[in-house]
Amino acid sequence: MIASSGPVSAVAALAARRARQQQAISEDAPKAAPAPVVESEPPSKKPRRSLDAVETAETGGDRRSSRTRATKKQDKQLPVEDSPKHATRSTQSSRESQKEEESSQDASDAEQVATDTIENNEEMDENEVASVVGDADGYESPAETPAELQNFPLSKVRLNKSNIVYSDESTLCIRIKERTNLALLGQYDLWVKRGVVSLMGAKLHASSQLHRVYAPSTHSLPVIKCVSGTDGEAEVEIKSCNSGLSHLQDLSPLYQRIWTGENTTADKATLKSAPKDSKRSFSVLYTSADDSLNRHLRPLHLDKKWSASMKGLSQRQGQLRVLVCGPKASGKSTFSRYLLNHVLSPTPETEGGYVNTDGVAFLDLDPGQPEFTPMGQVYLARLRNPFFGPPFTHPSLDDSHGGEIVRAHHIGAASPKEDPDHYALAVMDLMEQYRTLLEKYPQCPLIINYPGWIFGQGLEVATWLVRSLGLSDVVYMSEKGPSEVIEPLGLAAREARVPLTVLPSQPTDFVSRSSAQLRAMQIQSYFHMSHPTDLGSSLWSEEPLSRTRPLTVDYNGPRQGILGVMVMGSQINPDLLHETLEGAIVGLVAVESPRALMGGMAPPDAPNEEQDGDGSGLDIDMDSENPNATNIESFMAENVVRTQEDLPYLFVGSGSCTPLDPRMSHCLGLALVRSIDTSSHKLELSTSIPPSYIQRSIEKGHSLVLVRGQLDNPNWAISEEYHAARAAERRYQESTSGQKKAGGSGGSDGSESSKHTRTLALLRERVRRASNVPWMTVVEDNSRHQREVAARREKSLWKLRKKAYPGSESEADY
């Protein structure tokens, strides 16, 4: 390290002694007290440096000697207990910053850290992920993670002969004692054989039911905890599964490095009798240091106040009507998810004999980060089984898989502030649907997840909901207020005679994916997901959307299937509708009545004799004699504007579309407009909406409308073919290299070599063609100059940058 003067060394020794004293008493420190600097964790999102800052740091870094760099690298390789200098220096700089000697020392250290960061980004191992300078939503870089932050306890149990019942290459059966837990990473099916365990808020009792669990590194890991059992032990079986979700890593770097890495110490201990090179779809981790990919892994432990509140709310049983609200990133979605699982899994011996047979209604009012649908929708769902995994593992629901969407509305934006009036109408309709649901399921509780739009007009909507929805409870997820939110919310709760519970926020400490990236993962998962009727779980396809069969729809002619196109949030000239629609994500909305248009000002329902009423065609039998369908077609035919391509454009006045009335329309799902064939008047759509949903809507006489909102551009779909081609080339090279290591091929070396060359040339040609597409630029290296050029290019519209240098697993933001 850089040589220090005498006074500075004395101060460093004093700071080190104070640090050791603080570390010894850290366990007894009150919660309100700030954590010692040595034990503190970095912020949830690392500070990102501008290009100017990088250039300054690099200029200063050039003054470092080669000896200093070598010493720095040696320090990084030391274990935690052998290298306390970094922690000492942090304490020193924070407590003795007024001294000139320390100020100069801190400046040198900051210069070293900045230069090391640049070196790490430019000298990257192929298994690491870098973030481009200037990226708004870049990945975390394990190379920049201090070693002392990696060793974080995850499990309170160690696997040995006494608690391992049996194990093989795909299954692990263990006993877990009370008050101990086990953290796993990956995908698995959980079977509780004896006792009771808790998982993500749910209490799972011994039964024959299997529970599918998804535990990626993008979120805090779910923990299996023993609640009770025979002789103080619970017995669970954990089995590998293959849903196809992990195969999406071949289509997007966002899905890479989120599942299991190499076998951990616990895995090796349970695979001794299994065949060599056995690998399960899950891994048992004792600490975060067990992870071979050096990721930020943390268990998800609930705050005690959260647990107490969930127990109190669940005691209301079928009378529960709770609204969960609070500022952004306060843990609303996590609390709602855990509360949902907790209510869906009551103890069989509950006092009074109450057993939840009607399910739980989940009203999700957050269009930016919905739980069971892709972004841009608000919906009412009825759930019968708990769900274990982040939203991108269940982006849609099917009637036969533990839950169903009762009704959904397409908002077309990530925030309700784009059109608060339409949002309020949608909420009112969903609440009316819940009241109708109660007629069939009278003991169905309700959980409402409100977005982080809690200030200004959002607060007005929230207080209106408290006064008008007939709630039993309101939960606010922040003890820090602010007072201008808490006071009006509390006043509304008192007027409605509803108790208001204020809980501490519990934000995520570390994030490896930004909100925009998580939305992209969820919507990509949505388009690749399917619900086989003969299976109890969902499956995902690894085929790029460009290689799947599209849904062909007529937008003009006698078999017109799409009766209109709407554009929300902006005024679009009809001449620009073709460019606006092609390649966009749209909502497929079923119009139940012509009154859904023009804010309910449409003429009353009456049959129109001039309309032939042929129905329309979505490659499905759409013959319908429903007079309501004929009336809708007649009305829309009179109010539609045909563009140059004969696209049916529904707009009013200067081009601003009036949203459809939620009381007489609902959203079936999302679709991607792949192409518009103007010669045959056909649209090619990619969608995961089950054909039975569309057929059912047609049989009821509904008309279908495409709604183009303000959703994120589907850049992930543009680059799928490129990433799939790269993955195919990589797999082929790995397979051929493995065959060469295994042994030669006899006298056919010449023919095999020629075949290998031809195959590799074809794969590389596929990569070349896939990289030459609009709106995507492939950057072949990761030099500082290329990063700066790409950062400047980022400002251009519709420009997508991909890093394709060897070993890269990172994706730039859109």
DSSP for 544-591 reads -GGGSPPEEEESSSTT--EEEEEE-SS---GGGHHHHHTT-EEEEEEE
pLDDT at 526: 96
Cα–Cα dist 433/84, whole Å: 60
Question: Is residue 706 domain-shared with residue 616, that is, in the same domain?
Answer: yes
DSSP assignment letter at 287: B
Residue 97 is assigned to a structural domain of this protein: yes
Strands 529-530 and 640-642: unpaired
Question: Is residue 87 domain-shared with residue 229, that is, in the same domain?
Answer: no
Cα–Cα dist 304/322, whole Å: 19
Question: Is residue 274 domain-shared with residue 342, that is, in the same domain?
Answer: no
pLDDT at 752: 80
pLDDT at 469: 86
Question: Is residue 171 domain-shared with residue 50, that is, in the same domain?
Answer: no
Both tokens assigned to 67: 């000896």
Residue 745 is assigned to a structural domain of this protein: no
Max Cα–Cα distance, the chain, nearest Å: 100
CB–CB of 57/115 below 8 Å? yes
Question: Is residue 499 domain-shared with residue 605, that is, in the same domain?
Answer: no
Question: Is residue 703 domain-shared with residue 763, that is, in the same domain?
Answer: no
Global pTM value: 0.76
Cα–Cα dist 678/722, whole Å: 27
- Of 347, 333, 98, 119, nearest to 219 by C-alpha is 333
Contacts of 40 (CB under 8 A, 6+ apart): none
Half-sphere exposure (CA, 13 Å, Cβ side) for 339?
31
Query: Which residues does residue 263 pair with via DSSP β-bridges, in sequence order?
Result: none
Question: Is residue 572 domain-shared with residue 665, that is, in the same domain?
Answer: yes
Contacts of 438 (CB under 8 A, 6+ apart): 444
Question: Is residue 701 domain-shared with residue 557, that is, in the same domain?
Answer: yes
Residue 533 is assigned to a structural domain of this protein: no
Cα–Cα dist 248/113, whole Å: 35
Residue 118 is assigned to a structural domain of this protein: yes
Contacts of 213 (CB under 8 A, 6+ apart): 184, 187, 188, 189, 190, 199, 222, 388, 389
Strands 223-228 and 321-325: unpaired
Domain end marker among 490, 525, 560 = 525
Question: Is residue 141 domain-shared with residue 168, that is, in the same domain?
Answer: no
Burial (Cβ within 10 Å: 0-12, 13-18, ≥19) of residue 612:
exposed
Give ∠ CA 397-398-400 in degrees, rounded to 5: 135
Three-class secondary structure of residue 522 per DSSP: helix
Residue 128 is assigned to a structural domain of this protein: yes
- Of 693, 698, 613, 703, nearest to 665 by C-alpha is 703
Which helix (H) or strand (E) segment holds residue 227: the answer is strand 223-228
Indicate which CATH number applies to the domain containing 210. 2.60.120.1030
Query: Which residues does residue 802 pair with via DSSP β-bridges, in sequence order?
Result: 778, 811
CB–CB of 163/174 below 8 Å? yes
Tell me which residue range forms the domain holding 37.
6-123
Which residue matches tokens 């103007």? 678
CB–CB of 94/19 below 8 Å? no
Query: Which residues does residue 188 pair with via DSSP β-bridges, in sequence order?
Result: 213, 240
Q: How many domains in the chain?
A: 6
Question: Is residue 227 domain-shared with residue 368, that is, in the same domain?
Answer: no
Q: How many residues does the chain have?
A: 814
Question: Is residue 583 domain-shared with residue 641, that is, in the same domain?
Answer: yes
pLDDT at 22: 53
Half-sphere exposure (CA, 13 Å, Cβ side) for 249?
14
Domain end marker among 258, 290, 322 = 290
Question: Is residue 286 domain-shared with residue 371, that is, in the same domain?
Answer: no
Cα–Cα dist 51/69, whole Å: 23
Residue ranges of the alpha helices (H) in 456-587? 457-468, 483-495, 515-527, 577-581
Which residue ranges of the chain lie beneath pLDDT 70? 1-150, 346-356, 400, 507-509, 598-638, 652-656, 738-749, 780-783, 787, 790-814
Residue 75 is assigned to a structural domain of this protein: yes
Domain end marker among 290, 317, 347 = 290
Residue 107 is assigned to a structural domain of this protein: yes
Neighbouring C-beta atoms of residue 384, cutoff 10 Å: 14
Residue 349 is assigned to a structural domain of this protein: yes
